[in-house]
């Protein structure tokens, strides 16, 4: 006995709670990694939300030039870039440095959905363990712990699924042809 | 300068990278050399003769060696363990012998506090005389030995199968005597004090109050030191990345705009097309492995019957587990070899004549080795092969292959290395020895090289020495060279696809060599805290293996995110990215590297934790999370990468790839978190609170809570097998059915051009 509760109940519901914490922790960590991988592309560049523009290490501005359902594209003036001494480390393009920004960055990437999915597995497992233990020993006051664990599970589950509800993965399926909007034609052709 | 050196392509990265990598590796292996020397010079002695106080002969040194062979040949290392190493269903026979012998001695002395103290002193005193090579047991110890020969005779001659062993497993009285001698020797080194020290040869392992075994001061001290080392290491690395990370070269540069070729446009070389058969074999071995895993698991959930069938007569627990482990190595290695065959021509741009035939030869050789060794192990466990037999019996856990098969497997991998050489020869001749093709080739060479070291572990040698070499393979393979080979392969795939620049990939690889070798080489010793090796093995093992976690954290958070870059690259191409699921499996590799290897590995890595934990459920938790999570997922990623080109685009089973991906990952996460982790934590608690002997007893393992937890993994396992493995088998079958489109061979040179996988849409400025 631990206080008024049986040891088994405390261990079972405690483990369920630990699973929820692990789910939240994994999700945070994965989000952090995604942020870093985002920055590999944009390292040295700063986004200025008030102007919706990026500023490059040489203090030039990249303005928005186009957008599809999930991303917005920004580009610097080609004449500026082609004259810039730092160009070789910056871009291979003759049409000016470009940056892609995901409109809803996390967890809408594929990797994000994977990590979020695994976090949800832990939530489902926490719920299953709680229910199994409650059915095995439906005794008061242990059931109060079960109720608390279930409530915590529901909240974590709701929170983790929130971002996923109603947003399909933005991956062009093979066989569907090119993505619905082709920015190479729509953005570059006018130049 | 060497003639012709001028024609080599320049090294793409700074020479300092090579120097740093070489320095770290040389340092690591220099220390390993010293440790090998120390292992041989201060290993626990095997007495020439063991006698009782009145001079009667109990057993000889030869009996210990023969007993070890009997132990191995009967697959007992895949059932229970000695010195903590082996399977987890049976007892740890070292702890088992020690407890039974000490209890018998205590009873003989009539019990009580005085008797306890006397027994403790008797077991701790080292009565081995190095000059004559004779070890003298006290009267109580000698009586216990005789009694235990009887005990093990009954135990192993049991006609029932309710332990999971086959009926009448060992009946020959001579073999029982030898086996008991071997167990008695391990118990002796576990309790007798090392000359000049106040702890036993095994650093006081196992915890056994009756003989005064408790954690040593070193065990505690080095646990603390290694914990600090880890924290400082991670802090330093992140600090360094924050400070210099920008200079590593993969920061902030816009990628080339590329277009991926549709799989239908990619014509394959003859050997590349043979890999379809490789991957089908891989898938079938995988299926067999998980089904055997199901049988193994069933024993743990319900020991006495397999849905009403007496399975243990045909497929006893230890045989199922032997095959389960063997197959896990076979299918992963086969996938790696196939991936090498597939990737090498891409790197060289062409494939020489005859490579297809060699690929067939290799596949046939692998099939022979796999089936031959599995059959030999089966015969041996059923008692049909002489212990220690060259053809039929070895069976160290993980190095189960009998010797001849081990040699054949090493030669098979050597043949593969030759095949790599044939393809890459001209590329290698034209390139700097520090560039990607050379790294690919050298890290590939290391795979047979390290495996061959396992041949140094012979069934009749002292256990301390055999375990030392065994872990060169088990540990150095997975925690150093395979990690390295993995990074090279993955980096290489991305370079080939055009999503990562070669220079960036090289920097990541060199960083990898440095970080993995810094901790991983000497870290091998974290398996040898308590196997009879001296205390410096424990100290260095704890310190350096803590350092291993640094790259796992770092590479997950930092460099593995370049995999995610790959996943994202499709945004910038007009043609769809063909490798959605291969890349997702690589993302999974990164995840499990962090969780299964890094977190679950470090959970059991401190000497003080290992002291109570070794050979219990938390090891299984870590082993599954890392072996399947990292190398299993990787093998599948490599498979899907190749299969994408072997199956016509219109036939590509996108849906089944997705189902397989989610099922394998959810199934594995469920397995770890529903069963293995909680079970291991409870068992660790039992080990600390009640005792190691108790925590490993069948009574504890088949208790109510444990049984419930074992059944709890059923949904996850079912999903893993049905939703994960079967679809992969289907995809592999499609690969064999279609086998891609054949590229035309140039009849004059015999070369078959290898395809390009992508085109640069907007070229890098040359001006
Ligand atoms: C992908 C990398 C890894 C793989 C595939 C792997 C695999 C394994 C396997 C299969 C075992 C069981 C060996 C046996 O049964 O004797 C094991 C044991 C062990 N691993 Fe790992 N491992 C990896 C990384 C790590 C890391 C990074 C650490 C810690 C820093 C670690 C610490 C340990 C320890 C301490 C044991 C011994 C447990 C025992 O003997 O009871 N491993 N590993
Ligand atoms: Fe290891």
Q: What is the pLDDT of residues B631-686, one digit of tens each?
A: 999 999 999 999 999 999 999 999 999 999 999 999 999 999 999 999 999 999 99
Q: Which chain B residues are closer than 8 Å to A32 by Cβ? A: 557
| Among the ranges given (A100-104, A122-126, A184-188), the one the predictor scored with the smallest mean pLDDT | A184-188
C-beta of residue A180 within 8 angstroms of C-beta of residue A69? yes
Architecture of domain B46-214 in CATH?
A: Orthogonal Bundle (1.10)
> What is the reported pLDDT for B240?
77
pLDDT surpassing 50 at residue A176: no
pLDDT surpassing 90 at residue B700: yes
pLDDT surpassing 60 at residue B593: yes
> What is the reported pLDDT for B7?
77
**What is the chain B residue with the closest CA to A35?**
B561
> What is the reported pLDDT for A87?
83
pLDDT surpassing 70 at residue A169: no
Q: Which residue's CA is minimally distant from atom 9 of ligand 1?
A: B623
State the pTM of this model: 0.92
> What is the reported pLDDT for B162?
86
pLDDT surpassing 70 at residue B764: no
Return d(Cα A43, Cα B546) in angstroms, integer.
Answer: 31
Considering only CA atoms, which of A47, A44, A33, A24 is closest in space to residue A100?
A47
**CA dist list (Å): B372 to A2, B200, B458, B466:** 56, 41, 20, 24
Q: How many angstroms away from the CA of B328 is the closest CA of chain A?
A: 24
> What is the reported pLDDT for B719?
97
Query: Which atom of ligand 1 lies closest to the CA of B482?
Result: 1
> What is the reported pLDDT for B288?
97
Q: Which chain A residues are closer than 8 Å to B572 by Cβ? A: 100
Confidence of residue B14 (pLDDT cuts 50, 70, 90): confident
Nearest to B673 among A98, A125, A171 (CB): A125
C-beta of residue B397 within 8 angstroms of C-beta of residue B77? yes
pLDDT tens, residue by residue, B701-756: 999 999 999 999 999 999 999 999 999 999 999 999 999 888 889 998 989 998 88
Confidence of residue A188 (pLDDT cuts 50, 70, 90): very low
pLDDT tens, residue by residue, B158-187: 998 888 999 999 999 999 999 999 999 999
Return d(Cα B387, Cα B170) in angstroms, integer.
Answer: 12
User: Using a 6 Å cutoff on CB, does residue B144 contact ligand 1?
Assistant: no
**What ranges do the domains of chain B cover?**
46-214
Please compute the mean of the pLDDT values over residues B426-448 and round it to a whole number. Answer: 90
Return d(Cα A26, Cα A13) in angstroms, integer.
Answer: 20
Do residue B587 and residue A114 have CB atoms under 8 angstroms apart?
A: yes
Q: How many angstroms away from the CA of B323 is the closest CA of chain A?
A: 30
Please compute the mean of the pLDDT values over residues B217-224 and round it to a whole number. Answer: 96
Please compute the mean of the pLDDT values over residues B354-369 and round it to a whole number. Answer: 96
pLDDT surpassing 80 at residue B573: no
pLDDT tens, residue by residue, B371-410: 999 999 999 999 998 888 877 788 899 989 988 999 999 9
Please compute the mean of the pLDDT values over residues B415-442 and round it to a whole number. Answer: 92
* Adjacent-strand bridge partners of B13: none
Provide long-range contacts, Cβ within 8 A and 24+ apart, for A46-53.
A47/A101
Do residue A114 and residue B665 have CB atoms under 8 angstroms apart?
A: yes
C-beta of residue B274 within 8 angstroms of C-beta of residue B354? no
Do residue A37 and residue B561 have CB atoms under 8 angstroms apart?
A: yes
> What is the reported pLDDT for B556?
54
pLDDT tens, residue by residue, B466-480: 999 999 988 998 888
Residue of B542, B600, B619 to mutate, ligand 1, most atoms within 8 A of C-beta: B619
Angle of helix B535-554 relative to helix B502-520, nearest 10 degrees? 150
Q: How many angstroms away from the CA of A99 is the closest CA of chain B?
A: 8
Confidence of residue B565 (pLDDT cuts 50, 70, 90): low
Nearest to B254 among A98, A114, A171 (CB): A98
In degrees, rounded to 5, the angle at the alpha carbon of residue B231 between the alpha carbons of residues B227 and B233 is 110
- Rounded to the nearest angstrom, the distance between the alpha carbon of A122 and the centre of ligand 2 is 27
- Looking at the domain assignment, is residue A180 inside a domain? no
Q: Which residue's CA is minimally distant from atom 4 of ligand 1?
A: B626
Do residue B556 and residue A33 have CB atoms under 8 angstroms apart?
A: yes
> What is the reported pLDDT for B610?
97
C-beta of residue B184 within 8 angstroms of C-beta of residue B147? no
User: Using a 6 Å cutoff on CB, does residue B78 contact ligand 1?
Assistant: no
Q: How many angstroms away from the CA of A156 is the closest CA of chain B?
A: 17
The chain-wide mean pLDDT, for chain A, equals: 78
Q: Which residues surround ligand 2, an ion (CB under 5 A)?
A: B 475, 479
Do residue A92 and residue B666 have CB atoms under 8 angstroms apart?
A: no
User: Using a 6 Å cutoff on CB, does residue B614 contact ligand 1?
Assistant: yes
pLDDT surpassing 70 at residue B510: yes
User: Using a 6 Å cutoff on CB, does residue B605 contact ligand 1?
Assistant: yes
- Looking at the domain assignment, is residue A176 inside a domain? no
Nearest to B565 among A30, A40, A44 (CB): A40
Nearest to A43 among B246, B594, B662 (CB): B246
Do residue A32 and residue B557 have CB atoms under 8 angstroms apart?
A: yes
Q: Which chain B residues are closer than 8 Å to A86 by Cβ? A: none
- Looking at the domain assignment, is residue A188 inside a domain? no
The domain in which residue A28 lies consists of 7-165
Return d(Cα B10, Cα B28) in angstroms, integer.
Answer: 28
- Looking at the domain assignment, is residue A182 inside a domain? no
> What is the reported pLDDT for B555?
60
pLDDT tens, residue by residue, B609-629: 999 999 999 999 999 999 999
| Among the ranges given (A64-78, B73-87, B568-582, B583-597), the one the predictor scored with the smallest mean pLDDT | B568-582
> What is the reported pLDDT for B2?
44
> What is the reported pLDDT for B161?
86
Return d(Cα B490, Cα B259) in angstroms, integer.
Answer: 19
Inter-chain Cβ pairs, chain A and chain B, closer than 8 A: 136
- Rounded to the nearest angstrom, the distance between the alpha carbon of B601 and the centre of ligand 1 is 6
> What is the reported pLDDT for A187?
32
> What is the reported pLDDT for A177?
41
> What is the reported pLDDT for A171?
52
Do residue B246 and residue A44 have CB atoms under 8 angstroms apart?
A: yes
User: Using a 6 Å cutoff on CB, does residue B315 contact ligand 1?
Assistant: no
Please compute the mean of the pLDDT values over residues B59-84 and round it to a whole number. Answer: 95
> What is the reported pLDDT for B365?
95
C-beta of residue A77 within 8 angstroms of C-beta of residue A96? yes
Structure tokens belonging to residue B513? 């060599």
- Rounded to the nearest angstrom, the distance between the alpha carbon of B627 and the centre of ligand 2 is 11
- Looking at the domain assignment, is residue A39 inside a domain? yes
Interface test with B, best of A17, A25, A121 (most B CBs within 10 A): A121
Do residue A117 and residue B670 have CB atoms under 8 angstroms apart?
A: no
What sign has the CA pseudo-torsion B132, B138, B143, B148? Answer: negative
- Looking at the domain assignment, is residue A172 inside a domain? no
Please compute the mean of the pLDDT values over residues B181-198 and round it to a whole number. Answer: 96
Confidence of residue B205 (pLDDT cuts 50, 70, 90): very high
Do residue A36 and residue B666 have CB atoms under 8 angstroms apart?
A: no
The chain-wide mean pLDDT, for chain B, equals: 90
Return d(Cα B165, Cα B198) in angstroms, integer.
Answer: 38
Ligand nearest to the CA of B619: 1
Return d(Cα B151, Cα B156) in angstroms, integer.
Answer: 9
Q: Which chain A residues are closer than 8 Å to B759 by Cβ? A: none
Do residue B584 and residue A110 have CB atoms under 8 angstroms apart?
A: yes
Number of compact structural domains in chain A: 1
> What is the reported pLDDT for A111?
77
Edge-to-edge, what's the strand order for the sheet holding B49-51?
A: B57-60, B49-51, B134-136, B128-129
User: Using a 6 Å cutoff on CB, does residue B696 contact ligand 1?
Assistant: no
pLDDT surpassing 90 at residue B247: no
């Amino acid at each position: 006995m631990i206080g008024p509760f049986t040891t088994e109940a405390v261990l079972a519901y405690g483990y369920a709670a630990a699973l929820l914490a692990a789910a939240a922790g994994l999700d945070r960590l994965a989000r952090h990694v995604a942020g870093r991988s985002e920055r590999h592309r944009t390292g040295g560049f700063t986004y200025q939300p008030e102007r919706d523009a990026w500023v490059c290490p040489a203090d030039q501005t990249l303005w928005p030039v186009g957008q599809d359902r999930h991303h917005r594209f920004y580009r610097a003036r080609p004449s500026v870039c082609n004259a810039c001494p730092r160009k070789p480390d910056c871009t291979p393009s003759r049409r000016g440095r470009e940056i892609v920004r995901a409109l809803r960055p996390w967890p809408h990437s594929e990797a994000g959905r994977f990590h979020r999915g695994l976090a949800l597995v832990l939530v489902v497992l926490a719920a299953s363990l709680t229910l199994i233990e409650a059915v095995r020993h439906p005794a008061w006051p242990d059931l109060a712990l079960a109720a608390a664990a279930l409530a915590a599970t529901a909240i974590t589950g709701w929170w983790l699924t929130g971002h996923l509800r109603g947003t399909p993965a933005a991956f062009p399926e093979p066989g569907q042809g090119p993505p619905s909007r082709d920015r190479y034609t729509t953005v570059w052709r006018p130049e | 300068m060497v003639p012709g050196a001028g024609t080599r392509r320049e090294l793409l990265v700074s020479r300092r990278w090579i120097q740093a990598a070489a320095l770290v590796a040389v340092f690591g292996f220099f220390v390993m050399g010293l440790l090998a020397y120390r292992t041989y010079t201060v290993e626990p002695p095997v007495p020439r003769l063991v006698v009782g106080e009145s001079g009667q002969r109990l057993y000889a040194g030869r009996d210990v060696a023969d007993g070890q062979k009997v132990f191995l040949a009967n697959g007992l290392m895949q059932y229970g363990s000695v010195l903590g190493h082996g399977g987890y269903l049976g007892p740890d026979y070292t702890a088992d012998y020690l407890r039974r012998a000490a209890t018998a001695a205590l009873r003989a002395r009539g019990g009580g506090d005085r008797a306890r103290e006397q027994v403790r002193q008797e077991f701790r005193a080292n009565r081995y005389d190095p000059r004559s090579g004779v070890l003298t047991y006290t009267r109580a110890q000698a009586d216990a030995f005789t009694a235990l020969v009887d005990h093990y005779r009954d135990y192993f001659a049991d006609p029932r199968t309710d332990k999971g062993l086959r009926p009448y497993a060992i009946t020959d009285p001579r073999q029982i005597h030898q086996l008991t001698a071997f167990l008695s020797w391990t118990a002796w080194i576990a309790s007798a004090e090392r000359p000049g020290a106040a702890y036993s040869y095994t650093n006081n392992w196992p915890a056994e109050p009756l003989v005064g075994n408790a954690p040593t001061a070193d065990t505690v001290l080095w646990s603390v030191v290694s914990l600090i080392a880890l924290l400082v290491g991670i802090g330093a690395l992140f600090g360094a990345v924050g400070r210099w990370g920008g200079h590593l070269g993969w920061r902030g540069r816009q990628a080339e705009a590329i277009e991926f070729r549709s799989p239908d446009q990619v014509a394959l070389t003859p050997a590349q097309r043979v890999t379809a058969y490789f991957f089908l074999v891989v898938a079938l071995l995988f299926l067999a492995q998980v089904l055997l895993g199901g049988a193994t698991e069933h024993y743990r959930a319900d020991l006495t019957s397999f849905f009403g069938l007496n399975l243990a007569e045909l497929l006893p627990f230890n045989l199922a587990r032997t095959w389960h482990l063997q197959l896990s190595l076979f299918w992963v290695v086969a996938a790696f070899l196939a991936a090498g065959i597939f990737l090498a021509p891409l790197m060289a741009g062409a494939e020489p004549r005859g490579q297809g035939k060699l690929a067939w030869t290799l596949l046939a050789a692998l099939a022979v080795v796999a089936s031959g060794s599995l059959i030999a192990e089966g015969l041996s466990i059923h008692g049909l092969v002489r212990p220690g037999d060259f053809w039929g019996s070895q069976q160290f856990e993980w190095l189960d292959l009998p010797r001849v098969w081990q040699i054949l497997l090493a030669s098979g991998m050597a043949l593969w290395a030759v095949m790599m050489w044939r393809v890459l020869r001209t590329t290698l001749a034209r390139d700097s020895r520090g560039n990607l093709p050379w790294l690919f080739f050298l890290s590939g060479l290391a795979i047979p090289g390290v495996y061959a070291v396992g041949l140094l572990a012979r069934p009749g040698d002292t256990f301390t020495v055999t375990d030392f070499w065994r872990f060169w393979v088990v540990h150095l393979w997975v925690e150093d060279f395979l990690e390295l080979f993995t990074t090279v392969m993955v980096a290489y795939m991305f370079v080939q696809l055009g999503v990562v620049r070669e220079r960036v990939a090289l920097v990541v690889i060199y960083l990898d060599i440095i970080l993995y070798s810094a901790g991983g080489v000497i870290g091998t010793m974290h398996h040898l805290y308590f196997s009879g090796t001296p205390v410096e093995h424990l100290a260095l093992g704890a310190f350096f293996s803590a350092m291993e976690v640094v790259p796992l954290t770092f590479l997950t958070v930092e460099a593995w995110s370049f995999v995610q870059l790959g996943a994202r690259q499709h945004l910038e191409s007009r043609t769809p990215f063909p490798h959605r699921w291969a890349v997702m499996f690589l993302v999974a590799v990164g995840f499990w590297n962090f969780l299964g290897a890094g977190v679950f590995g470090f959970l059991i890595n401190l000497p003080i934790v290992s002291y109570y934990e070794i050979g219990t459920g938390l090891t299984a938790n870590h082993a599954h999370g890392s072996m399947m999570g990292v190398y299993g997922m990787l093998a599948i990623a490599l498979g899907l990468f190749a299969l994408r080109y072997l199956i016509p685009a219109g036939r590509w089973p996108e849906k089944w790839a997705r189902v397989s991906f989610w099922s394998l990952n959810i199934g594995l996460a469920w397995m770890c978190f529903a069963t293995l982790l909680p079970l291991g934590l409870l068992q660790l608690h039992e080990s600390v609170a009640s005792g190691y002997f108790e925590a490993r007893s069948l009574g504890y393992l088949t208790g109510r809570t444990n049984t419930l937890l074992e059944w709890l993994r059923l949904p996850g396992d079912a999903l893993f097998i049905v939703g994960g493995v079967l679809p992969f088998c289907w995809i592999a079958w499609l690969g064999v059915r279609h086998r891609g489109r054949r590229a035309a061979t140039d009849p004059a040179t015999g070369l078959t051009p290898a395809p390009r996988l992508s085109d640069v849409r907007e070229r890098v400025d040359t001006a």
